[in-house]
Structure formats: C-alpha cells, structure tokens
Amino acid sequence: MEKTPYNWTFTSVGGSVRVKISSGADIAHLGELDRKMWTVLSCPSRNLEFDPKTLALIDADHDGNIRVDEVIAAAQWLTGILKDPDLLLTRGTEIPFSAFNTDSPDGARLLASARQILGNLKLDKESIALEDTADLTKVFADTKFNGDGVITPASADDEATSALITTITETIGKAADRSGVDGVTADHVEAFYTALADYAAWQEAGTPDVFPFGDKTADALAACEALKDKIADYFMRCKLIGFDADAAPAVGISVEKIGAIEGNLALACAAIGEEPLAKPAAEGLLPLDAVNPAWKGAVGTLRALVPEADKKTLSEEEWTAILAKFAPYTAWMEAKKGSEVEGLGLEKVKELLKAGGKDVLLKLLEADKALEQEALSIEEVDKLLRLFHNFYDFLNNYVVLADFYEPGRKAIFQAGRLYIDQRSTDLCIRVDGPNPDISALSGMYILYCACKSDTLGKAMNIAAVLTDGDVDGLRPGKNAVFYDREGNDWSAVVTSIVENPLSLRQAFWAPYKKAGRWISEKVGKFAADKEAKGAGTLSSITEGATSAPAAGAEAATKAAPFDVGKIAVITMALAAVSGVLVAVISVLKSLSWWQWIVLIVGLMLVISLPSVFIAWRKLRKRDLGPVLNANGWAVNAASYVRGKFAKGLTEVARYPKLTAVDPAARRKAAWRRFWCWLIALLVIAAGVLYFTDNLACIGLPYHKEPAVEEVCEETAEAVEETTGAQQAEEPVEEGTSEE
C-alpha cells in the first residue's frame, strides 16, 4: 500500500515560498520533507548565538557542521519520547512526567532516569526541569556508583579499601568521575598491582653479590661516575708522554692559562678544573695525594667509599678493576621495575600484595559498570531537556529562516549591533575572516570588522551589513564599537568593504558626488602642479641669476615665427563653436520659466536615472545567502533583504531642528537666510529677463546677439585684415627679389 504523503503548509518568508513549521507533527515528519525545500542544508556548529551544548548534541558526528540528516535524527528521537510533540512549540524548560511516552522504550527509560535524578537531588515533584540537569556533578554527587567506570574512596565499603584507592591515585594516577571526584579505573588498578609485583620481584633479585660495597654501593658508584671521565683523561695524557716525552708540555698543566686567571683563584674552580686531574708522567700512576685542587673533594669521597682507592697512587689497571666490581649492581639497576610504588617501601609493597585488595576493587568496578546504561540515560535526560527548550528555535533558523524575518526576534547568526558613522546595524555575522569574493554576490554593502575586547580577553571578526544611510565617511581603518548579544562592548576596526548601493536616494546623487570628487581631485592636482612648478621656477631663478640676462636676450632674438595658417584654423574653430552657442542660447532664451524647470529636471533625470535603475535592480536582489555561504553555511533558498525590512536592520540618527538660545545668534541666522534667498531670487530674475528680451523695458541696455552669418563674415574680414597687415610688416631679406 502506498504511503500517503504528508500535507505540508507553506508560507512566504523573505521573498521565497518556504515550508511552515507550525506543529509537532511537522517536526515529526521532517524526514519526509523534500531536501530541495529546506532553506539550509548545512550550518556550522560554532560562531552562532545559540546554546553550544544543544548544537553539539545535534551535531552527532562532531565534525563542526550540522547537516539535514542530523536534524532529522534529532527530530525523530525527540518526538518519539513525547506523547504530544506540540509541546516543542512552547519552548519550555520543564517536562511533566505525564508528557513522557512510556509506550516507547526510550521514553520509559528516560522517565525512570528523570525520577532517579530527582531522587539523587532529593527533590519531590512530578516534572523534570532543565536546571535540574544543568550540573550533572550535583546529580551524581551523593551516589556510590554512577556507571562511568570510575570508583572513588566513597565507593568503598571499609576504610582499608578507601585508603587503597587513595594510594593508587597518589602513585599510579587518577580519573575524575561524573561527580567530579578523583578516583581510579580498572586500568589504574591493574597498573598498580603490576607495579607492586614487579618491584617486589626486582628487590628479591638483589642478592649480596650485587652490592660489592654493601649499603654504600650506590654512593660508591656515584663517586666513581663523578671521576670516571677525568681519570680516563689523566691516564691518556700519561700514555702520550710515554709515547713521546716531547709531548709533556702540551699535555701537562698549562701555567699560562692559570696565570691568565684574574682575581680570586678560589672563585675560579671551573677554570682550574679544566686542567688535568694531576701532573701526568710516563709512569702512569695517579698520585691521589697530589691532585688538581678543584677535584680534591671528589677524590676524597672516592677514597672514603672505595677501600681499593684509599692509597697514595692508583694505576689504570687498579682503576679498571674497581669499575668492574659495579657491573652486577649496574645490571640489576637497569632491570628495575615498579618504580612507581618504590616510595611505599618494600614492606608495604609485600603487605599490599598479600592483602588481596585487587579483587575487592575489581568487584567495585563491576558494580559501577552495571549502572552504565542507567547513568547514560541520566545524561540523555539533559539532552532531552535542551532539545525540548531549543529545538523549535533551531528549526526556525534552519528549515525556514523565520526568526530572521520575524519582528522582535533575531536569527542565530546575528551576533549583535555595530555602531558606526551615526548609524547602527543589527545584521552582524561572526565570521572567520573577510571573504569579499563570495559576499559581493549578495548585492549588499558589507563592512568586515576586526573586533577586540580587552575585558573578555577575546578577539573575533564580524561582517556588518548596512542597509541605509550614506557611505561618504566609510573607509578601511575607521573605528567603531560593537555590542554583542550579551551587552559586552568590543572595539571594532573596519578591515575591508564590499561596496553596493544602499538606497535609491544615494544612487540618485551618486553621479554628482562622483563628479564633485573628480573636479576636486583635478583642482587639487592642478594646484599642486602649479605650486611645484612655481617652486622650481623660483629655485632656477635663484640659482641661475647671473646667466639670466644673456639667456633672456638670446630667447628674444630667437622668437618663434608667426604662423598665419594656425591662427586662421583656430579662429574658424572658435567661430563654429560660437555659432553653436549662439544657436543654443537663442533657443534657451525663448523658453518660459516652467520650460526651464522641465529642462533642468530632465537633465537631472538623464544623468541620474541609469544609476538609480542599476541600484533598483540590485536593491531588489539583495540576498543574505551569499553572506552566509561565505561563512560556512549551505543556504538552499534565496533570502532577500529589501524594502522596509531592510531599512529596519539599520537605524540612522535623526536629529530634531533646534533654535539657537542666544538672541544675537538667532538674528544673525535670520539675516543670513534673508540674504541667501534675496541673492537667489535676483539671479533667477536676471536670467529670466535676459533670455526674454525684457531688459530694455526697465531702462538697461540690451545687446542683441548677432546672427551666425554675420559672425562668420566679420570673422573672415578680420582674418584677411590681420594677414595683410602681417605681410606688409615683414622685411625683405637681402639677396632676394620681391615677387
């Protein structure tokens, strides 16, 4: 029989049709929802304003990303435990025992665990609350066993066993159980008794022949080791002298080095100790009574601990024999085991091995292990309560993205509020770092900011989206202040900007602002060039004042010849331009005042409409998806940010109109406004009168613009007269005939 598909309800959210989660049945059937209809397919489990423990519980594989399958699994587990899944929509923090679905094995098990939790906490009520499981250490505080495989001194039935557990924690190691108390595991117990057995066996292998010098063997070996290298060095020097007597000065004591030591020689033991142990000789005998003063103490200790070394001289063969006596002891020490329990002493070790406490501890561990499932169920009760309280909110930010568009609520990716340039924005997303290549596809104006809190000792990056206001004062490096959702303030610095239109008003004036900036840059550049040129000219005049007269005379004699053709071309071009201007002016002056207004408005529309049209298209397509995708999300549907909703995300400062308190200031402002209006009216009136031939009616001279033909004829006559005059003034050179 074919299964009837679930009847989903749909709604429009953020400009897109989305499924509506409005009942517990919707949550229970999430597994049947086509994945193409999910708003989000994956989101990170960090950098979100959401309970991190709940996110970790949903992220079952703990890979840092919450995917659709994990959300479905959590929904099915949660709705299977509750009789009425509609309770999830209440976002409650307490579940009554009557709400558990005891027909489900998980529901019955968790109900029993919930009752056990209240029993451990000594609470008598018929419901379990989130605050009851918020600190599980309190739940297990007075329990003898808690199923975590760790036994504590409180788990023991007698003082001897309790003391044994304490001894193991002090020698082998320890582990904290669910109640936070230090205890031991089965591995600790095994390691402890293995160490006891190894140490006892090692001690038994230490027969008398292992200790050539009795109880002083260890000290004697240490004394020999301290002199071993120095004595070997001495005998080698003696062998070199026996090989060649001329080597004696080179291998003997250096009088020059000792003489070079300055100050108190008693403080130069290190330098003196670098010299040979004694004066080397070909005989190869070490004079124990005449050794280097820096080594006299070590030699004295050796002679006191090793009877064979308590003589006037010591040969190399005798020294080798002394070292050979330590071979059994050295081998025994290298085979040492159980050093962890050496501090207990051999008698205590044997006593513990004989007492048989190991079996007692292992039985206690078995009793604790038997409660493992029950203890895990107690932890699952905490999981149940956290999902009961938070899961519906998570779905509204994952399946639907409804919290972002619902007034009065904030999405889990909204980290706080940024204040910058007389505005604030609530669309701030915590990010790992700037990613402008992907974020630019959103069509939104984004400020990437680095935030730092000295109070919290933390730092983070945010992407702040602006949806209203001007952008003239925004630039990388600008400082701002960010407030997180908990009210903590952070110092913020703009690191990079993704530029896109903010509003149609901004787009309308953008061409004029751009032209103004271009003119300002050109004027500034022109002024700078003139200043540099003037400074260079002044410098050249100052440096070359003596050669200036001669250079000036030579320049005067070599004046450029007059080019009649070039002047004619320029004159004709000016005439053509002036003709066009005259034609344009003749048309303009025939316009009435309302036609002038239409003309000005039309010109402004021609200039601004392309910018406004482009901005309108981008503003309609502003999409939050690319911003989230750039920060680890996999958004599956368009999430538009436009209209009144977009403006509501950014608040711009609105100042009231104030009247100056000072009467003199008020009068000054009034006169300033009067003169501004008067000048503007006079300019407008003069323009209207000029272009309507009405200046003569008020007694002012009126100059009628000549026609284009007259201007051209007058210009041609002027050019001919100028050319004739120039030719008449030019001198005839000698040796040439006049043509």
Q: Are 30 and 135 contained in the same domain?
A: yes
Whether 543 maps to a domain, the answer reads no
Residue 542 lies in a domain: no
Asked if the model's pLDDT at residue 582 lies above 50, the reply is yes
Q: What's residue 690's pLDDT?
A: 57
Strand partners, 11: 18
Same domain, yes or no, for 585 and 715? Answer: yes
Per the CB < 8 A criterion, the answer to whether 266 and 225 are in contact is: no
Question: Within 10 Å of residue 249's Cβ, how many Cβ atoms?
Answer: 11
Residues 223 and 299 in one domain: yes
> Do residues 611 and 690 share a domain?
yes
Beta strands per DSSP E along 243-359:
286-287, 313-314
Residue 630: what residue type? A
112 and 42 in a single domain? The answer is: yes
pLDDT in tens, 115-173: 888 888 888 999 999 998 887 677 776 667 777 788 888 888 888 899 999 999 999 99
CA distances to 212, 309, 522 from 327, rounded to whole Å, are: 10, 17, 94
> What pLDDT digit, counting tens, does each position of 210-230 carry?
899 888 999 999 999 999 999
CA–CA distances in Å: residue 668 to residues 562, 656, 665? 59, 21, 5
d(CA 475, CA 465): 14
Are 574 and 713 members of one domain? Answer: yes
Select from 509, 499, 501 the least CA-distant residue to 474. 499
Q: Tell which wins on pLDDT, 317 or 668.
A: 317
CA distances from 364 to 123, 162, 377 (A): 28, 11, 21
Give yes or no: residues 263 and 114 share one domain.
no
Per-residue pLDDT of 400-426, as tens digits, reads 888 899 888 899 999 999 999 999 999
Count of domains for the chain = 5
Strand partners, 12: 17
CB contact burial 635-651 (16+ within 10 A = b; e otherwise): bbbebbbbeeebeebbb
Domain around 252: 208-334
DSSP state of 82: B
Question: Would residue 684 count as lying in a domain?
Answer: yes
Domain presence at residue 673: yes
Residues 716 and 678 in one domain: yes
Q: What pLDDT, in 10s, does the model give residues 474-508? A: 899 999 999 999 999 999 999 999 988 877 676 67
- Find residue 425's DSSP bridge partners: 418, 650
- The pLDDT of residue 253 is 84
pLDDT at 553: 46
Q: Does a structural domain hold residue 546?
A: no
What is the identity of the amino acid at 446? I
Beta strand 40-44 pairing with 634-635: antiparallel
Structural contact between residues 272 and 293, judged by C-beta atoms closer than 8 angstroms: yes
Say which DSSP state 343 is in.
G
Q: 608 with 641, same domain?
A: no
Is residue 503 helix, strand or coil?
coil
Query: Percent of the chain at pLDDT above 90?
Result: 39
What's the whole-number mean pLDDT along residues 678-693?
68
Asked if residue 607 and residue 517 are part of one domain, the reply reads yes
User: What's residue 89's pLDDT?
Assistant: 94
User: Does residue 684 register a pLDDT over 50?
Assistant: yes
Record the pTM.
0.60
Structure tokens, 678: 């008067």
Q: Check residue 668 and give its pLDDT.
A: 77
- What is the predicted pLDDT for the residue at 42? 94
Residue 213 resides in a domain: yes
- CA distances in angstroms from 375 to 135, 136, 137, 143, 503, listed in the order given: 14, 10, 12, 11, 59
Greatest CA separation for the chain: 146
Q: Among the listed ranges 12-21, 50-59, 231-240, which one has the minimum average pLDDT value?
A: 12-21
Residues 159 and 260 both lie in one domain: no
**Same domain flag for 286 and 365:** no
Question: Of 283, 317, 334, which one is at a domain's C-terminal end?
Answer: 334
Q: What ranges make up the beta strands (E) of 122-176?
A: 127-129, 175-176
Look at residue 538 and tell me if it is in a domain: no
Contact of 401 with 628, CB cutoff 8 Å: no
- Token duo for residue 717: 């006559």
> Residue 2 falls within a domain, yes or no?
no
